[in-house]
């Protein structure tokens, strides 16, 4: 019964790996995944009494805002958003996660109360002021979830590619295109690799095109890394984990990832023969669901 209160995307997000998440945030995510918002609130209140308002506390409040909104406790969600806005009035590098949470939850509240158009306008206004790639990607993710399906797929920048050579989406018009956005250190991406490989082997002779993309994050194993070091790691991961994706390019481009709203990895995008986005989902997908969606697009007349 509790599970019905929380969509699968939220549950997946709760258990996504966050290397920098402290004990409070891990505890709150765990409680929310079980639908126990009250225990999460109590833990955050206790932390504030003992430690005051710091980055860990604000990150946890961001999770409470998400949990309250998902359980349709909108007034409580508004209170948490207001607190985050007071404590973080502008973008700060060390507080991007809770700052982004406030934007994300406020957009969802606007969508539920005023409509999708108002939420998109709000998000576009926030995007105009955002600078960090991770924040811009997160805002775009929310815009895309509201509006990208049914629209032409944004172009890809294919200037830097590993694996096979990449062509533009325009040149692939007439073929369905599956796009897989990943990060080299992402556990869910690695877990998705075997099923993605099976799907590719199943459909590559049916006219499906597969394009993957990632970006440089500036670090490896929580330590600063040069572009050359990070690119070398991506190439190693690509060869080891995605060996079955023969003939598939892997684009390395930050703006492509930002444009497609890749703040959660993996992210899937399925484009039909006319270049229209038919599926946008910032989560892992089961092999059965991915196959079902591809079958739908392949069955359509050219």
Measure the CA–CA gap between 283 and 276, rounded to whole angstroms: 20
Residues 59 and 167 reside in one and the same domain: no
Range of the structural domain that residue 182 is part of: 161-298
Tell whether 124 is covered by a domain.
Answer: yes
Residues 173 and 224 reside in one and the same domain: yes
Q: Given this model, what pLDDT does residue 247 score?
A: 85
Residues 39 and 110 reside in one and the same domain: yes
Tell whether 34 is covered by a domain.
Answer: yes
Q: What is the pTM of this model?
A: 0.89
Residues 123 and 186 reside in one and the same domain: no
Tell whether 170 is covered by a domain.
Answer: yes
Residues 233 and 171 reside in one and the same domain: yes
Nearest to 297 by CA among 282, 265, 266, 275: 275
* pLDDT higher than threshold 50 for residue 44: yes
Q: In the listed set 91, 118, 147, which residue is the last one of a domain according to the structure? A: 147
Residues 9 and 141 reside in one and the same domain: yes
* pLDDT higher than threshold 60 for residue 52: yes
Measure the CA–CA gap between 199 and 245, rounded to whole angstroms: 10
Total structural domains within the chain = 2
- CA 58 from chain centre, in angstroms, equals 21
229-234 long-range contacts (CB < 8 A, ≥24 apart) are 230/184, 231/162, 233/184, 234/162, 234/184
Residue 73 has φ and ψ, to the nearest 5°, of: -95, 70
Q: In the listed set 119, 147, 175, which residue is the last one of a domain according to the structure? A: 147
What tokens does 56 get?
């860990």
* pLDDT higher than threshold 50 for residue 15: no
Helices (H) and strands (E) in the chain, counts: 12, 8
* pLDDT higher than threshold 60 for residue 18: no
* pLDDT higher than threshold 80 for residue 120: yes
For residue 251, what is the domain's CATH number? 3.40.30.10
How far lies 22's CA from each of 43, 164, 300, in Å?
Answer: 13, 40, 48
CB-based contacts of 271: which residues, under 8 Å, 6+ apart? 153, 169, 176, 177, 178, 179, 277, 278
Tell whether 153 is covered by a domain.
Answer: no
User: What confidence tier does 3 reach under pLDDT thresholds 50, 70, 90?
Assistant: very low
Q: In the listed set 121, 147, 173, which residue is the last one of a domain according to the structure? A: 147
Residues 99 and 177 reside in one and the same domain: no
Q: Given this model, what pLDDT does residue 53 score?
A: 97
Residues 172 and 289 reside in one and the same domain: yes
Tell whether 238 is covered by a domain.
Answer: yes
Q: Given this model, what pLDDT does residue 272 score?
A: 97
CA angle 97, 101, 102 (to 5 degrees): 125
Residues 168 and 276 reside in one and the same domain: yes
| Stretch 143-150: mean pLDDT | 98
Tell whether 152 is covered by a domain.
Answer: no
Tell whether 155 is covered by a domain.
Answer: no
Measure the CA–CA gap between 31 and 29, rounded to whole angstroms: 5
Residue 89: other Cβ atoms inside 10 A:
9
| Stretch 264-283: mean pLDDT | 96
Residues 219 and 278 reside in one and the same domain: yes
Tell whether 96 is covered by a domain.
Answer: yes
For residue 48, what is the domain's CATH number? 1.25.40.10
* pLDDT higher than threshold 70 for residue 274: yes
Q: Exposed, middle or buried, 261 (CB in 10 Å: 0-12/13-18/19+)?
A: buried
Residues 134 and 87 reside in one and the same domain: yes
Higher pLDDT, 3 or 88: 88
Residues 280 and 184 reside in one and the same domain: yes
């Amino acid at each position: 019964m509790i599970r019905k209160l929380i969509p699968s995307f939220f549950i997946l997000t709760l258990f996504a790996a966050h290397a920098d998440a402290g004990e409070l945030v891990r505890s709150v995510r765990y409680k929310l995944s079980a639908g126990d918002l009250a225990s999460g609130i109590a833990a955050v209140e206790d932390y504030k009494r003992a430690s005051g308002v710091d980055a860990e506390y604000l990150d946890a409040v961001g999770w409470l805002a998400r949990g309250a909104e998902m359980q349709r406790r909108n007034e409580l969600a508004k209170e948490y958003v207001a607190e985050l806005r007071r404590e973080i009035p502008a973008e700060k590098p060390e507080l991007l996660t809770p700052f982004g949470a406030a934007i994300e939850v406020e957009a969802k509240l606007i969508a539920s109360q005023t409509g999708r158009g108002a939420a998109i306008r709000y998000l576009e206004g926030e995007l105009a002021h955002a600078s960090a790639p991770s924040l811009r990607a997160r805002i775009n993710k929310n815009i895309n979830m509201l509006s990208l399906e049914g629209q032409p797929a944004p172009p890809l920048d294919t200037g830097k590619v590993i694996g096979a050579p990449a062509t533009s989406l325009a040149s692939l018009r007439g073929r369905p295109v599956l796009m897989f956005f990943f990060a080299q250190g992402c556990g869910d991406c690695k877990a998705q690799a075997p099923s993605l490989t099976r799907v590719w082997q199943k459909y590559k002779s049916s006219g499906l095109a597969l394009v993957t993309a990632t970006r440089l994050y500036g670090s490896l194993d929580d330590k600063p890394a040069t572009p050359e070091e990070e690119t070398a790691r991506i190439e190693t991961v690509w060869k080891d984990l995605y060996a079955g994706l023969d003939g598939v390019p892997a684009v390395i481009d930050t703006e492509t990832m930002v444009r497609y709203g890749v703040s959660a990895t993996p992210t899937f995008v399925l484009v039909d023969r006319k270049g229209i986005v038919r599926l946008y989902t910032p989560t892992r997908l089961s092999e059965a669901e991915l196959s079902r969606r591809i079958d739908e697009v392949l069955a359509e007349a050219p």
